[in-house]
Amino acid sequence: MTEAALSNDLPFPHRHLLGMQSLSRGDIERILDLSEGYVDFNRKGGPRRDALSGRTQINLFFENSTRTLTSFELAGKRLGADVINMNTEVSSTKKGETLIDTAMTLNAMHPDILVVRHPDSGAVALLSQKVDCAVVNAGDGKHEHPTQALLDALTIRRRLNRLEGLTVAICGDVAHSRVARSNIHLLNTMGARVRVIAPPTLLPTAVAQLGVEAYTDMRAGLEDVDVVMMLRLQRERMSGAFLPSVREYYHYYGLDHEKLACAKPDALIMHPGPMNRGVEIDTDVADDIHRSVIREQVEMGVAVRMAVLQLLTPQQGNG
């Protein structure tokens, strides 16, 4: 990988990364191309780069995370940033106040980049208006999770060589999923066709406005698709009963080899994690070394986050 492939000479036209909806096709391609270089870089395990040397990155997570937090931390460190992780429990009342107070406190320490996860949709955008640095949304409620959609796109593009013209089925708890929403925006922008498959109670109410085809029958929805993206049931975002039982859910919407047979023979199997084996996905399918790219998604996550961090912290005198 040449130095040129990892350089960031052109200014990126966005100060923050809050969602996929605001990114153009060109923006997305630019992030994916830069990420591509970081995949090679990470595999070679060379010395850390200094693109973020002298910069401070604070990861502010108001919600649990394993892979997203770890990969943002690794990404910042591999670029030479000083990285601080703050795990904050949201107090049950005055959530808004807590968030803004925390943001103002951190802002006074002059970080260069804040990576924020929060259980409320819109909270990260609100925070971005109160601070002077770049803000990356690492997942806000059921709204958006842009770096997940970017790492999914990178995984698909590397395996199938394109995004345009593909048919992607997003299956499961679409209603509560920020991963689904960000993927829908990205895939539509890149010219893919998106289907969502879910029980009627787990389809978003405004599904018609999302530019997707909705299915409640999983076999019909999987017919001839190139990619099957499974989602976890977001119980923490459900109030009340959305499902009769987990057993019944698995019967109708769990991905097993029998349902997978409706998709194209070489269709990719994806899942953002954490997976609930035997709930939304069968263990054999999740571990199918020929079809499942779930581990590759995790690898792509570090590369994509390196690219995003670099693009949002322009070099001095460089915009």
17: which DSSP letter? Answer: B
Site string for ligand NCD, 213-242 (x = CB under 6 A): -------------------x----------
Question: Nearest 10 degrees: CA dihedral of 65, 69, 70, 73?
Answer: -170
Footprint (CB under 6 A) of ligand NCD, residues 57-76: 67-68
Residue from the set 55, 178, 259, 305 that interacts with ligand NCD by CB under 6 A: 178
Count CA atoms within 13 Å of residue 35 on its CB side.
26
Q: How far is the CB of 301 from ligand NCD (least distance, A)?
A: 8
- Tell me: does residue 119 bind ligand NCD (CB under 6 A): no
Does the footprint of ligand NCD cover residue 181 (CB under 6 A)?
Answer: no
Encoded amino acid at 25, one letter: R
Name which of 99 and 179 has its Cβ closer to ligand NCD: 179
Smallest CA-to-CA distance from 260 within 271, 246, 248, 276 is with 271
Alpha-carbon distance 109 to 216, whole Å?
50
**82-87 and 268-270: which strand pairing?**
unpaired
> Is 37 one of the binding residues for ligand NCD (CB under 6 A)?
no
Nearer to ligand NCD, 177 or 189 (CB): 177
Which of 55, 145 has the CB closer to ligand NCD?
A: 145
Helix (H, G, I), strand (E, B) or coil at 195: strand
Q: Which is nearer to ligand NCD, 297 or 313 (CB)?
A: 297
Neighbour count for residue 215 (Cβ, 10 Å): 18
Give contact residues for ligand NCD (rule: CB under 6 A): 67-68, 139, 145, 148, 178-179, 232, 272-273
